[in-house]
Amino acid sequence: MSITLLSKELIEKIAAGEVVERPSSVIKELIENSIDAGAKNITIEIEKGGISYIRISDNGSGMSEEDAKMCFFAHATSKISKEPDLFSISTLGFRGEALSSISAVSKVTLFTRTIGSEYALKLVNHGGTVISTEACGKPDGTTIVVEDLFYNVPARLKFLKKPSTESSYISAIIQKYILARPDISFRYICDGKDVYHSRGDDSLKNAIYTIYGKDVYSNLIAVDYLYDYIQISGFVGEPEISRGTRSFQNLFVNGRYIRSDIIANSVKQGYANRIMPAKHPVFILSLKVPLDSVDVNVHPNKLDVRFKDEGLIQECFFKAVRSAFEEERIKPEVEHIKQEAIPSIVPQYSIKESIKENIIKAAKEEIAFEYNPSPDTNMVSQFQSVLPRNEEYVQIPVVYKEQQTDTVVVKHPYIDTKEAKPTQTELQMNLSKEIGDYLIIGQLFNTYLLVEYKDSFLLIDQHAAHERLNTDMMLSELENSNILKQQLLIPAVVQLTAQDFTTVMESTEDFLSLGFELEEFGNSTIRINSVPHIFGEKNPESFFFETLDSIRKNPKMDTRKHIIFETACKHSIKAGQPLSKSEIGELIKRSFEDDSPLNCPHGRPIVIIKTKKEIEKWFMRIV
């Protein structure tokens, strides 16, 4: 193919692709322009996910007639003019690309009026070509209407998701700016409904309330940190409201929303061991640094920045969070579960005298008791409702024999986890079928049940085991369409973020099939009229947050499975919960009955099995 120069239209469309990926990128650019114009009120209206209609009005500076005609040209900007300006950018925009890119791929109408001018100007631009320019009446400021995005680039249109998904991306962008600029009042209207209306009273806490509601608002710790030229302020969430994804993390640098895994990690380190390894803290943090210490010209979408002194910035975030906790002097640190492998060789240390005494004392006491095959009459009723499981999901558990040790770990057969890779020495057996007589030794750390079985020693995670049973029960009920639900006397009300609200409203049928009768309650709030019978009296708020995190992390999995797993988890006996003898007996019995797979729905093992031979090796009885 011979070389030809691309046409102006094609060049514009290629350039537009870098800036305008989807409706939310248009919204981002237009909001940034309004902020740069000094607006204190910004109203965003969208229809059909912003694909058919976007309207943004501001009360900013407006544009002169000359500027309004210029602004659609590529690389037309009022924000920088000479090279040194690039290293001290105080505005959100500076590349002069947004309006030219947006107008190249949509139908734009611009209304603008500067303070004191006699009339406003109306400019229509379709696909990068000015159609008309006329004077009209309009209040001060600028309004931009963007219609039929990608009408002239059908290939791009095909890549867009359904309107509700596009709206949720837009909500996410608007959230960021509401949090970045509490001094500006934002109003967001989606398909005629008010989604957000922030006060613009310069209170970050109020802005947080607008976005995340009461749960986050009332669990915040203030961060205020100054070191040399680095200033960090904002809030971090209490460890209890940490989430399973990073979507509740907000970071702003000189008023610009950015993403940075490095800083997110430093923030998490600041929590020390207050937070579980798999959780991510909620934070809304602002960094203020001199303009020349940060390079914002890294990518056209301006989401990544480069710091002159990245190491120092990281350290400051860590220290800022750490000192926020110190000042707060909040609750004792929770011990997180160490995920280290069980050592195959026991270290050669001498047991301290006091510990030795305790062991001897414990041995003398009656800590062991025989398993009683006919359970007590006061058996916990929650186990009695366990129904036969759904064959579709139940598979024979695979038992992996770890290399070089005789430790056997029973893992989940249908959920893929990194650790669950079969080894060459994999051995298939149906443990449950083999289980016959066993001796229950007791409960360890109020978390693990100890069982002697033939020539092996079983360590059972009580939470995981119970969760497995509850999951199977719900799967079976779902299969037989007989989910038992319980009407709530007083319906519960849960406030969600706009994206989470969309996800829930799209899945109301799935929730209903599992006993959750949900109703829209206005302003991203849902009303819960009924819950599955096993749910009990628990507060449904955290259940919804966790289910939504789980959906976000693995959107491909059937939503009903997410709901089942989280319901089962919430209802299950917790780690650290002391159990009576009969409760232990019943849990073990039910777990071993009916070929129940010995693995929890999250893919963690339920049982670790140590053979007698291995234990003998530890003590060098055999080599």
**x-or-dash pattern for ligand ADP, window 157-196, by CB under 6 A?**
----------------------------------------
Residue 292 Cβ vs ligand ADP, minimum distance, rounded to whole Å: 19
Backbone angles phi, psi at 19, to 5 degrees: -95, -45
CA end-to-end span of the chain, whole Å? 74
Helices (H), 112-242: 154-159, 163-180, 204-217
Return the number of the residue (97 or 566) whose C-beta is nearest ligand ADP.
97
Return the number of the residue (33 or 254) whose C-beta is nearest Mg ion.
33
3-state percent helix, strand, coil for the chain, nearest multiple of 5:
35, 25, 40
Which amino acid appears at position 430 of this protein? N
Backbone angles phi, psi at 61, to 5 degrees: -65, -25
How far, in Å, CA of 107 to CA of 227, rounded? Answer: 48
Binding segment for Mg ion among 30-38, 127-135, 227-235, 426-434 (CB under 5 A)? 30-38
Residue 25 as a binder of ligand ADP (CB under 6 A): the answer is no
- Number of residues located near ligand ADP, criterion CB under 6 A: 24
**x-or-dash pattern for Mg ion, window 96-135, by CB under 5 A?**
--x-------------------------------------
Residue 218 Cβ vs Mg ion, minimum distance, rounded to whole Å: 37
Return the number of the residue (174 or 528) whose C-beta is nearest ligand ADP.
174
Closest CA to 284 of 246, 260, 249: 249
Residue 29 as a binder of ligand ADP (CB under 6 A): the answer is yes
Cα Rg, the chain, nearest whole Å: 30
Return the number of the residue (36 or 566) whose C-beta is nearest Mg ion.
36
Cα separation values, 452 from 40, 341, 455, 513, Å: 70, 21, 8, 41
**DSSP assignment letter at 605:** B
Residue 32 Cβ vs Mg ion, minimum distance, rounded to whole Å: 5
Contact of 148 with 104, CB cutoff 8 Å: no
Return the number of the residue (80 or 223) whose C-beta is nearest Mg ion.
80
Residue 38 Cβ vs Mg ion, minimum distance, rounded to whole Å: 14
The helix (run of H) or strand (run of E) holding residue 568 is helix 559-571
Residue 148 Cβ vs ligand ADP, minimum distance, rounded to whole Å: 19
Return the number of the residue (79 or 552) whose C-beta is nearest Mg ion.
79
Closest CA to 453 of 466, 469, 462, 440: 440
Return the number of the residue (25 or 33) whose C-beta is nearest Mg ion.
33
Report the site for ligand ADP in 98-137 (rule: CB under 6 A): 98-100
Return the number of the residue (12 or 97) whose C-beta is nearest ligand ADP.
97
Report the site for Mg ion in 76-95 (rule: CB under 5 A): 93
Contact of 145 with 55, CB cutoff 8 Å: yes
Given Mg ion, ligand ADP, none, residue 573, with its beta carbon under 5 to 8 Å by kind, binds none
Q: Which residue's CB atom is positioned nearest to Mg ion? A: 93
Q: Which residue's CB atom is positioned nearest to ligand ADP? A: 93
What size, in residues, is the chain?
Answer: 623
**DSSP assignment letter at 26:** H
Helices (H), 186-344: 204-217, 261-270, 310-328
Longest dimension (CA), the chain: 98
Given ligand ADP, Mg ion, none, residue 77, with its beta carbon under 5 to 8 Å by kind, binds ligand ADP
Residue 34 as a binder of ligand ADP (CB under 6 A): the answer is yes
**x-or-dash pattern for ligand ADP, window 51-80, by CB under 6 A?**
-------x-xxxx---x---x----xxxx-
HSE-up of residue 590 (Cα within 13 Å, Cβ side): 28
Given Mg ion, ligand ADP, none, residue 34, with its beta carbon under 5 to 8 Å by kind, binds ligand ADP
SS3 409: strand
Return the number of the residue (58 or 549) whose C-beta is nearest ligand ADP.
58
**DSSP assignment letter at 90:** -
Closest CA to 416 of 202, 599, 157: 599
How far, in Å, CA of 245 to CA of 497, rounded? Answer: 14
Beta-carbon count within 10 A of 15 CB: 17
**DSSP assignment letter at 532:** E
Classify strands 398-401 and 427-428 as parallel, antiparallel or unpaired. Answer: antiparallel
Binding segment for Mg ion among 33-41, 269-277, 315-323, 535-543 (CB under 5 A)? 33-41
Given Mg ion, ligand ADP, none, residue 94, with its beta carbon under 5 to 8 Å by kind, binds ligand ADP
Residue 29 Cβ vs ligand ADP, minimum distance, rounded to whole Å: 6
Given Mg ion, ligand ADP, none, residue 253, with its beta carbon under 5 to 8 Å by kind, binds none
Return the number of the residue (99 or 179) whose C-beta is nearest ligand ADP.
99
Question: Can you give the binding site for ligand ADP, defined by CB under 6 A?
Answer: 29, 33-34, 37, 58, 60-63, 67, 71, 76-79, 93-100, 142
Question: Can you give the binding site for Mg ion, defined by CB under 5 A?
Answer: 33, 93, 98
